[in-house]
Amino acid sequence: MSLVFEHVTLGQRVLFGSGEAAGHLAKEVSRLGAERVMVIASEFELPMARRVAAGIDPVLWHTDVVMHVPVEVAEKARAAAAEHKVDLLVSVGGGSTTGLAKAVALETGIPIVAVPTTYAGSEATNVWGLTEAARKTTGTDDRVLPVSVLYDAELTVSLPVDMSVASGLNGMAHCIDSLWAPRADPINAALAAEGIRSLAAGLPQVAADPAGLPGREQALYGCYLAAVAFASAGSGIHHKICHVLGGTFNLPHAQTHATVLPYVLAFNAPAAPEAGKRIAAAFGAGTALEGLQALRETLDAPRALADYGFTPGDIADAVRIALPAIPESNPRKVTEANLTALLAAATAGEDPKTLTDL
């Protein structure tokens, strides 16, 4: 990689500590001088949010959270924030909850303190997403970047192993896709490599001992690095494909990323030898795909899009929508034929190695 590059580092405070979220939140609310806090958490996440907010006095608890942020859901949350003259949004939950806070911040400029409880990583990016009429739109705006992120691995202990694995591999996808994304540079590549290393170390510990904090901490640290790398490098082919599968076919976000990743890696790695070497080294494996597949085997990771309701009959539409969005800079030329083959293999859960020679 050439050492001529342009890199932007996003400004954000990160407070990391198991069991510290409530104390950190009280400190941040006071530091920011906020007086009218709106806590956003789904019904399911509400008990966690109440624990985290024990040291503050919110004016509003908002629980109407829906994955991929439908515009109507965003509008309701914005109206509630305006009605209660909210001056700080606190999101406690997964990427869907963070995403709703971002949708409010996008229109209102109200700052966000994010307390993530999955490994999605949205809290560390300036990317927003909204869904209208089965089409997901994403964009970047620095107003949606949370001013502070409070990481507390204790909040992730309740995340079931299968969801932890899928969500952690969503983080892994941020790292791997960053290495050939449009704004890939040596700084975000370094973050991505360390993200791969820490997720590969942490996720097997999470699977073996879901209640243990060391694995959870490694995984959270890794998913933060992953998201910073992704925010900096932009969306590569993997994200463009998964974005269509989630937004148009309503497939579950984390599981979709976890399933598609080895197919994209097998497809791109032969045309991206430097990225391949970097990924392999981070895994401590012979090749990038061997490293990823060994980890996926250990974790019993999701294997086929068909398991999530995607059918061979959906492939042509997905290709038609995804193809124009795939960056020109992708290391391997993407055609209707090879993208169809990639999705067919991922739908059926075939061995990704078959994609290497397309």
| Site of interaction with ligand NAD (CB under 6 A) | 42, 44-45, 67-68, 93-97, 99, 117-118, 120-122, 125, 127, 129, 155-156, 158-159, 163, 167, 170, 253-254
Pick the closer one to ligand NAD by CB: 213 or 281: 213
Pick the closer one to ligand NAD by CB: 138 or 340: 138
Pick the closer one to ligand NAD by CB: 198 or 232: 232
Question: φ, ψ for residue 151 (rounded to 5)?
Answer: -95, 125
Kindly provide the b/e burial profile for residues 193-208, where b requires at least 16 CB atoms within 10 angstroms of the residue's own CB.
bbbbbbbbbbbbbbbe
Contact 224, 14 (CB under 8 A): yes
CA distance 260 to 70: 24
Pick the closer one to ligand NAD by CB: 70 or 352: 70
CB atoms within 10 A of CB 249: 18
Question: φ, ψ for residue 132 (rounded to 5)?
Answer: -140, 130
As measured in angstroms, the least distance from the Cβ of 68 to ligand NAD is 4
Residues 6+ away with beta carbon under 8 Å from 30: none
As measured in angstroms, the least distance from the Cβ of 60 to ligand NAD is 19
Pick the closer one to ligand NAD by CB: 126 or 330: 126
As measured in angstroms, the least distance from the Cβ of 85 to ligand NAD is 26
β-strand 135-140 against 127-132: which pairing, if any? Answer: antiparallel
CA distance 15 to 150: 5
As measured in angstroms, the least distance from the Cβ of 120 to ligand NAD is 3
As measured in angstroms, the least distance from the Cβ of 241 to ligand NAD is 13
Pick the closer one to ligand NAD by CB: 163 or 187: 163
CA distance 291 to 43: 38
As measured in angstroms, the least distance from the Cβ of 159 to ligand NAD is 4
